[in-house]
Amino acid sequence: MNEISVPRPNNLDAFWMPYTDNKSFKDKPRMLARAEGMSYFTPEGREILDGTAGLWCCNAGHGRREIVEAIQKQAAVMDFAPTFQMGHPIAFEAAARVAEMTPEGMDRVFFVNSGSEAADTALKIALAWHKARGDSQRVRLVGRERGYHGVGFGGMSVGGIGGNRKQFGAQLPYVDHLPHTHGVPGNLFSKGQPEHGAHLAETLENLVALHGDTIAAVIVEPLAGSTGVLVPPKGYLQKLREICTKHGILLIFDEVITGFGRIGANFGAERLGVTPDIMTMAKGLTNAAVPMGAVATSNEVYDTIVKGVPSGIELFHGYTYSGHPLAAAAAIATLELHRAEDLPGRSRAMEGYFEDAAHSMRDVPGVIDVRNMGLVAGIELAPRAGKPTARAMDVFKTCFDMGVLTRVTGDIVALSPPLIVERPHIDRLFGTLADAIRAVPA
Ligand code: PMP
């Protein structure tokens, strides 16, 4: 494979890159041209060890032949067919495969194309469920500070990222946020679930006291990834579940990152022992080879909505590409690999080694916290005063130059390698990260 060379593009102006400092990128472009196993390669053939599974999504590693062949085969058989009022066999098969992996009783699967679409779809299903039960006053949605649910208006509004309010202003009305669970005294350098902070879920009781029976749903990531690897305190999700059940509020887990083995089980719900009513997923579903997301609901949620509409379309929602044949083929091949190679089991088996490596960063000057679960770790750096870029961003760039891909949000460097990672990769990931932190000015 190494002989394949991909030329650098001549025109860097046309592509408006997402979530990117476009101006500085063009001064020093970082290009990835090829990927295989645990690694990316630049157009010049330089290897970059993938410490982030792309964007938390290539869980089975890159260039998996089984997935490539499934997509190629499907493209030749049928490129596209709609799923409005008609279907194609592999979309049904893909849904059945997903349903086999979701918690018991969550067997209905709605396909979308991304995590953002999954979040908005989940919120709309929650609203539709209450309407179907005649509870039309339940229109309020509750998210959490430092939550990330993608970029649609629904997901952005329930998400808890200040930058959205700053840049776009308008958000959905009737939205509240629970406090995030980060920074609770006594939790620094926790391994796995921190001891303290379960009480923060009780804020939901305050919202119920304030708004009565108008809250439709609460959405949280079981483990918040994009905003800095925030692992839920012990008992927190259980408490949230209890309060939701007590007050007739649907609980939505956004499992876009935590799904498909990332934290050592098929889903975060399983690992953390709490079953939501609705869950979203994307990324690892197709190993990111073709964009696809999904929303799984409890059978009860589905039955209520479907039976609530005696005839005609039950859920007035869908995407042209829901259940796209190429994505469905990629999903089936991915989930087969998942099963055959027991990727959640691998993630669980490697967790101890990964955890020790992550926590060895504690001795690196400037590291103020480390947190981890499964094959995700967040390394937090002391904030940098008076400089335009966060130190972590410079660490990311330095790591890239040193041949390791990391992910950065604010002052936090996150690592989430493909679940096929081996010990020498882990040594190299954290060794390079430590070198980069030492090399970058505080
Ligand atoms: N939800 C969560 C929890 C995510 O982590 C992400 C993406 N990182 C999204 C939703 C949005 O997914 P996408 O970028 O595919 O729209």
pLDDT tens, 132-175? 999 999 999 999 999 999 999 999 999 999 888 889 988 999 99
Q: How far is the CA of 148 from the centre of ligand 1 (A)?
A: 7
Average pLDDT, the chain: 96
Helix (H, G, I), strand (E, B) or coil at 336: helix
How many residues in the chain? 442
Q: Out of 27-41, 256-270, 339-353, 377-391, which region has the weakest mean confidence (pLDDT)?
A: 377-391
Rounded Cα distance, 214 and 237, in Å? 21
Nearest ligand 1 atom to alpha carbon 55: 8
Measuring CA to CA, which residue among 88, 80, 86, 216 is closest to residue 143? 216
Confidence label for 4 from pLDDT (cuts 50, 70 and 90): low
Task: Tell me if 332 sits within 8 A of 70, measured CB to CB.
Answer: yes
Rounded Cα distance, 94 and 342, in Å? 18
Q: Is the CB of 255 under 6 A from ligand 1?
A: no
Q: Is the CB of 256 under 6 A from ligand 1?
A: yes
pLDDT over 80 (residue 340): yes
Identify residue 309 by its one-letter amino acid code.
Answer: V
Q: Is the CB of 262 under 6 A from ligand 1?
A: no
Can you give the pLDDT at residue 359? 98
**Is this prediction's ipTM beyond 0.90?**
yes
pLDDT over 80 (residue 2): no
If you average pLDDT over residues 9-24, what whole number do you get?
Answer: 91
| CA dist 291 → 152, 287, 326, 406 (Å) | 16, 9, 9, 22
pLDDT over 60 (residue 1): no
Q: How far is the CA of 368 from the centre of ligand 1 (A)?
A: 26
Q: Do domains 22-60+342-439 and 68-340 have the same CATH topology?
A: no
Sole residue written with tokens 């094959």: 375
Can you give the pLDDT at residue 5? 67
If you average pLDDT over residues 339-346, what whole number do you get?
Answer: 98
Q: Is the CB of 254 under 6 A from ligand 1?
A: yes
| CA dist 239 → 181, 203, 275 (Å) | 13, 11, 12
Task: Tell me if 176 sits within 8 A of 183, measured CB to CB.
Answer: no
% of the chain beyond a pLDDT of 70: 99
Can you give the pLDDT at residue 309? 84
Q: Is the CB of 227 under 6 A from ligand 1?
A: no
If you average pLDDT over residues 422-436, what whole number do you get?
Answer: 98
For 188-232, what is each residue's pLDDT tens digit?
999 999 999 999 999 999 999 999 999 999 999 999 999 999 999
* Closest residue by CA, ligand 1 atom 3: 256
Can you give the pLDDT at residue 275? 98
Architecture of domain 68-340: 3-Layer(aba) Sandwich (3.40)
Cβ neighbours of residue 92 closer than 8 Å, sequence gap 6 or more: none
pTM over 0.95: yes
Q: Is the CB of 259 under 6 A from ligand 1?
A: no
Confidence label for 314 from pLDDT (cuts 50, 70 and 90): very high
Q: How far is the CA of 353 from the centre of ligand 1 (A)?
A: 27
Nearest ligand 1 atom to alpha carbon 147: 3
- For the CA atoms of 425, 430, 435, 438, the dihedral, rounded to the nearest 10 degrees, stands at 170
Cβ neighbours of residue 169 closer than 8 Å, sequence gap 6 or more: none
Confidence label for 388 from pLDDT (cuts 50, 70 and 90): confident
Nearest ligand 1 atom to alpha carbon 283: 15
Q: Annotate 109-162 with DSSP letters as a single string.
A: EEEESSHHHHHHHHHHHHHHHHHHTT-TT--EEEEETT----SSHHHHHHS--H
Q: Is the CB of 411 under 6 A from ligand 1?
A: no
Q: Where are the domains of the chain?
A: 22-60+342-439, 68-340
Strands of 34-36's sheet, edge to edge? 34-36, 39-41, 47-50, 404-405
Nearest ligand 1 atom to alpha carbon 254: 3
Q: Of 11-15, 196-200, 390-394, where does the model show the most confidence? A: 196-200
Q: How far is the CA of 80 from the centre of ligand 1 (A)?
A: 25
Tokens encoding 57: 């999504």
For 49-99, what is each residue's pLDDT tens digit?
999 999 999 999 999 999 999 999 999 999 999 999 999 999 999 999 999
For 252-276, what is each residue's pLDDT tens digit?
999 999 999 999 999 999 999 999 9
Can you give the pLDDT at residue 166? 86
Superfamily of domain covering 22-60+342-439 = Aspartate Aminotransferase, domain 1 (3.90.1150.10)
| CA dist 301 → 112, 214, 250 (Å) | 18, 18, 9
Q: Is the CB of 407 under 6 A from ligand 1?
A: no
Q: How far is the CA of 7 from the centre of ligand 1 (A)?
A: 30
* Closest residue by CA, ligand 1 atom 1: 149
Q: Is the CB of 149 under 6 A from ligand 1?
A: yes
Sole residue written with tokens 């090829």: 34
Q: How far is the CA of 282 from the centre of ligand 1 (A)?
A: 8
Buried b (16+ CB within 10 A) or exposed e, 297-329: bbeebbebbeeeeeeeeebeebbebbbbbbbbb
Q: How far is the CA of 267 from the centre of ligand 1 (A)?
A: 15
Q: Out of 137-141, 311-315, 361-365, which region has the weakest mean confidence (pLDDT)?
A: 311-315
Rounded Cα distance, 19 and 4, in Å? 29
